[in-house]
Amino acid sequence: MEKYLKGMISELAIDPPKTHEILFLFSQVCESYGIEADEEIPVIADKMSFYEATSRYPGMEYTDEDLRKCISYFDYIADFFKERGFDFPHWGDPEQFIDINDKQINAEQIDIE
């Protein structure tokens, strides 16, 4: 979520803030695009920030329920943006989550002009 929000800010030629706080980034996106958040977003964004922050450090264990919650939070925010005309993927949209490092690409496959 953090990277998508920072990407939306970058699309406006604005340097995104150096933070991991989902609510802050979400607020920046809304302000930059002139859209208003619904009342659920602050709660969801804070919960996502908690999981994101605690996942950066060893020792924290997550349950399958935690994973389901995080995915539902992600999709809630994705729906928020989709309803407002943004191309924002859901967690289960694999074509949106392609990691080039997972692909075997050689120099002949890359067209550099």
Contact by Cβ (8 Å): 78, 89? yes
Band (95; pLDDT cuts 50, 70, 90): low
pTM value?
Answer: 0.74
Q: Of all helices (H) and strands (E), which one includes residue 7?
A: helix 2-10
Range 6-17 average pLDDT? 89
Q: Which 8-state DSSP code applies to residue 56? A: T
Q: Does residue 50 surpass a pLDDT of 80?
A: yes
Q: What is the pLDDT of residue 94?
A: 63
How many CB atoms within 10 Å of residue 70?
A: 19
* Percent of the chain clearing pLDDT 90 (strictly above): 30
Taking the C-alpha atoms of residue 5 and residue 85, their distance in angstroms, rounded to an integer, is: 15
Contact by Cβ (8 Å): 71, 62? no
